[in-house]
Amino acid sequence: MVTRSTRNLILLGATGSIGRSTLAVLRAHPEAFRLTGIAAYSSVSVLLEICREFSPKRVCLVDPGAAERFQSQVDDSSIEILSGQSGLTELAAAADADIVVNAVVGAAGLRASLATVAAGIPLALANKESLVAGGPLFQEAIAVGKPPILPIDSEHSALWQVLNGERRESIRRILLTASGGPFRQLPTDAFADITVEEALAHPTWQMGPKITVDSATLVNKGLEVIEAVNLFQVPIDAIEIVVHPQSIIHSMIEFVDSSIVAQLSRPTMVLPIRYALFWPDRVPGDDGRIDWNELRSLTFEPPDWERFPALGLAVEVARRGGTAPAIYNAANETAVAAFLERSIGFIEIPRIIERTLEASTLVDHPSLDDILTADATARETARRGMEKVKW
């Protein structure tokens, strides 16, 4: 392995599930990275703890009230405190950053991802909503590979690892695996009674609440299809979803000669995070190691498109392009927040996405402004749609 000097790393979404796993990787490799900046929405006490352990120079709390509370509690007066979306994008493009990890949840991370790419800084991307909503805006960077966009999402990390050294023309199909979520075998007539607690109990992954609900509706797989189309520049018809409940195979590529190559590990996000941070090197680590004496069977089945209508909607919006994916994503974020607040039922989530798409006007070759407007309008449309349902 080539020895590299210590690199400055910025971690957006430091207080979340991916943020915590990223900190675990940094803790294990203190010689490799210096954490110079962190951001979150409003989790003051967790950010204070991270400051005590890692001494970053800059901290952003997007919520201005939380930034004030942080300022009044922090011991180290040399820390620069930023706030708002502008603070987040400023941190995401920090002049001395060697790599930025975007682990913010939702389209709230879009402008930060764009700022990192525009500054020419390698972007380790967990925030899939960036690529879904802003797909057209990333195409140039993706086409030239500079700065690199290093996927953290486990399926896309798998595809990236499998593609190492292969030609794009050699791809016949991407086989995107899906756990199927907690309701894979639940009878359709029981979907109306799904509780928040049941939706938050994922069988194989421990994640933040929004992506956990997305995994239960299969919206997450829908977002990942769009993410794969954008990242690997393949047509939507070249992507097949394979339900694989054990979450051991993280995705596969079928090449034109009919060879299929897969990436496997036990489900853990530490492995794809570490791969993204150290790429193109591989560093030793046991997280995710498979015990072949214990592993008995890997099973596969096709997705149930009827039971999970949000999946088909995602394929439609991927095909439609323009602002359609941004609208799908914004409607879903709004519906999931309402479901988590217990104001709508689980089965309303795909209905709200569908109704919002139907009520929206699409823009074909969107600018950032077009995408931000589509996002804001879709949230409003989705909210109004939910109010009507309550009446």
The pair of structure tokens assigned to 26 is: 């940094």
Question: Residue with CB nearest Mg ion?
Answer: 153
Residue among 104, 70, 98, 72 at smallest CA distance from 85:
104
Contacts for 319 with CB less than 8 Å, ≥ 6 apart: 236
207 binds, among ligand NDP, Mg ion, none (CB under 5 to 8 A by kind): ligand NDP
- If DSSP codes are grouped into helix, strand and coil, which group holds residue 274? helix
Is residue 62 a contact point for ligand NDP (CB under 6 A)? Answer: yes
When the beta carbons of 169 and 197 are compared against ligand NDP, the nearer one is 197
13 binds, among Mg ion, ligand NDP, none (CB under 5 to 8 A by kind): ligand NDP
205 binds, among ligand NDP, Mg ion, none (CB under 5 to 8 A by kind): ligand NDP
Query: How many Cα atoms occupy the beta-carbon half-sphere of 59 within 13 Å?
Result: 33
Report how many residues bind Mg ion under the rule CB under 5 A: 3
Is residue 134 a contact point for ligand NDP (CB under 6 A)? Answer: no
One of 128, 250, 351, 379 touching ligand NDP (CB under 6 A): 128
Integer Cα distance of 50 and 24 in angstroms: 11
The pair of structure tokens assigned to 155 is: 């399926």
Please state the closest distance from residue 86 (CB atom) to ligand NDP, in A.
12
**Which residues is 301 bridged to in the sheet?**
243
- If DSSP codes are grouped into helix, strand and coil, which group holds residue 124? strand
Please state the closest distance from residue 255 (CB atom) to ligand NDP, in A.
26
Under DSSP, the state recorded for 360 is P
End-to-end Cα spacing for the chain:
63
Sole window of 67-75, 126-134, 301-309, 336-344 interacting with ligand NDP (rule: CB under 6 A): 126-134
What x/- string results for residues 74 through 93 when contact with ligand NDP is judged by CB under 6 A? --------------x-----
When the beta carbons of 15 and 154 are compared against Mg ion, the nearer one is 154
Please state the closest distance from residue 116 (CB atom) to ligand NDP, in A.
14
- If DSSP codes are grouped into helix, strand and coil, which group holds residue 308? coil
Integer Cα distance of 177 and 171 in angstroms: 16
**DSSP H or E run through 193:** none
Q: Are 353 and 335 in contact (CB under 8 A)?
A: yes
CA dihedral 202→205→210→215, nearest 10 degrees, is -60
- If DSSP codes are grouped into helix, strand and coil, which group holds residue 19? helix
Site for ligand NDP in 23-52 (CB under 6 A): 40-43
- If DSSP codes are grouped into helix, strand and coil, which group holds residue 178? strand
Please state the closest distance from residue 212 (CB atom) to ligand NDP, in A.
8
Residue among 303, 175, 304 at smallest CA distance from 234:
175
Largest Cα separation within the chain, whole Å, is 63
Name the phi and psi angles at 103, rounded to 5.
-120, 30
Site for ligand NDP in 208-237 (CB under 6 A): 208, 210-211
Please state the closest distance from residue 276 (CB atom) to Mg ion, in A.
13
Under DSSP, the state recorded for 119 is T
Sole window of 94-102, 142-150, 151-159, 178-186 interacting with Mg ion (rule: CB under 5 A): 151-159
Name the phi and psi angles at 122, rounded to 5.
-55, 135
Is residue 153 a contact point for Mg ion (CB under 5 A)? Answer: yes
Sole window of 136-144, 204-212, 227-235, 301-309 interacting with ligand NDP (rule: CB under 6 A): 204-212
Is residue 333 a contact point for Mg ion (CB under 5 A)? Answer: no
Please state the closest distance from residue 355 (CB atom) to ligand NDP, in A.
23
Sole window of 153-161, 307-315, 334-342, 367-375 interacting with Mg ion (rule: CB under 5 A): 153-161
Please state the closest distance from residue 142 (CB atom) to Mg ion, in A.
18
Strand bridging mode 171-178 / 249-255: antiparallel
One of 91, 171, 207, 239 touching ligand NDP (CB under 6 A): 207
Integer Cα distance of 389 and 85 in angstroms: 32
Is residue 104 a contact point for ligand NDP (CB under 6 A)? Answer: yes
Question: Residue with CB nearest ligand NDP?
Answer: 16
Q: Which residue ranges make up the site for ligand NDP (CB under 6 A)?
A: 13-19, 40-43, 62, 88, 103-105, 108, 126-129, 153, 205, 207-208, 210-211, 269
Interacting residues with Mg ion (CB under 5 A): 153-155
